[in-house]
Amino acid sequence: MSIDLATRVGRHFADSAQTKLNAADTLAQPIARATEIMVQCLMANGKILACGNGGSAADSQHFAAELLNRFERERPGLAALALTTDTSTLTSIANDYDYKQVFS
C-alpha cells in the first residue's frame, strides 16, 4: 500500500520536528559551551575558523558569513573564516599529502 505524496511530506516535517526536539535535550549544553568558548576567543582578539565537507562546507561558509556580516541584528562584524573557500589550497594539500590533512 502506498501513501500519497502529501502524507509523505507531512511525515518528513513531523520527523524533522521530533529530531529537533530530541536534539535539544542532547545538544543544548554542548552548544552553549561552544558558544562560550567562541565568545572568549573573540574577546581575546582571536577568530572563529569553520570547516566542513560536502554540504557541511556550505554550512561552514554560511556560518562564517553570518558572523562576519550580521545575524538577527545590526552589530560590528566578528572575525571568522570558512576554511572551505580556498579550493586551490584544499586540493593542493589533498593531492600532495592526504585529504585528512586538509583542515589540520
Q: Are 66 and 72 in contact (CB under 8 A)?
A: no
List the domain boundaries for the chain.
1-46, 47-104
Q: How many angstroms separate the CA atoms of 75 and 60, rounded?
A: 20
Please name every residue paired with 81 in a beta bridge, in sequence order, or none if there are none.
49
Grid cell digits, residue 1 = 500500500
Provide the whole-model pTM: 0.77
Per-residue pLDDT of the chain (104 residues; tens, 9 = 90+): 678 999 999 999 999 999 999 999 899 999 999 999 999 999 999 999 999 989 999 999 999 999 999 888 899 999 999 999 888 988 899 899 988 888 88
